[in-house]
Amino acid sequence: MAVVAYFNGQFVDPDGAWVPLEERGHQFGDGVYEVIRVYSGRPFLMEEHLERLERSLRVIDIPNPHTREEWAQLIAESVRRSGEAEAQVYLQVTRGSAVRGHAFPGGTAPNVSLVVRPAAAPVHPEDAALLALPDERWPNVYVKSINLLPNVIAKETAKRAGAAEAMLVRAGVITEGASSNLWFVIGGRVYTHPANRYILGGITRQFVLQLARESGVEVVEEAVPFSKLGEVQEVFVTSTTQEILPVARVFTDRRIAPALDTLPAEPPETLLPKVEEPVELWRRPGAAVVTARLAEAFAQALEKFRNYEPLLQA
């Protein structure tokens, strides 16, 4: 199982020291990234990922170092070198290397790095849980920025509490997971937060929206208030690496719960609170019928992709 690494025009030893110390991604998180899943040696939904990469670069004023065709060639060659049929591609573009200063430096070229690693099919526990936490990220979440400290903290807090993912809540409204999009089935309809500035519009989310409509499942792109969680029949998660993950329950801690509505002004002693007084907020009341239907449609689409068949109807 080979790991392939690339930095600024060269394939390099993944364990080598290639990133300069005065690199803006390293010092400021001044860059963006994408993660692309590879099935049977083929990058899945690559055009959609590259389109989102272009938008992220554009809105933070980093010039795109490659055309879409050049990106596709680089990804294809990286996957070929890895020899992995099932893999994950991580690519990152930063503003470049310069003497440290907050304002953008002039005359710097973007730095491009890429890593291909083997990837296994996701394992979905039957009792997967979400930990409800306040959404403490910046407002421009639609940019796939490498500034991921709030996401990392939420993910680790959920992990320590035994949850598969965090359920982020901003001012009483459920937004998304720490590294995923969230979906809720209410009265037979599927609800998911609209792709505005407050969520990262996932590529898997976009694909599942299309699958749902083709499968005759009604989807509403509308935020679900946290107060409506009791009306929900099913919850599931989507992401590039998790595909479609059914959720069995949602919980929080008694001391965390007030911050789901309003963040306190007083700085907390820790940003990784322990769940010592758990409060169950939701438990799936029955079979996840709609989730299973969409998961089956997703599996069928992957099988078509592996067989080089069209994924969706024109």
Render pLDDT for 174-203 as a digit per residue (tens, 0 to 9). 999 999 999 999 999 999 999 999 999 999
- Tell me: the pLDDT tens digits for 105-138? 988 999 999 999 999 999 999 999 999 999 999 9
- Tell me: the pLDDT tens digits for 136-178? 999 999 999 999 999 999 999 999 999 999 999 999 999 999 9
Q: Look up residue 213 and give its amino acid.
A: R
Residue 274 is a catalytic residue: no
What ranges do the domains of the chain cover?
4-118, 129-305
What is the pTM assigned to this prediction?
0.95
Going across the sheet that includes 234-239, the strands are 219-221, 189-192, 181-186, 234-239, 243-247
| pLDDT of 1 higher than 80 | no
Class of 129-305 in CATH: alpha beta
CATH 3.30.470.10 fits 4-118, yes or no: yes
Average per-residue pLDDT for the chain: 96
User: Quick one: 310 exposed, middle or buried, by C-beta within 10 A (0-12, 13-18, 19+)?
Assistant: exposed
Q: Which of 144, 155, 159, 228 is catalytic?
A: 144
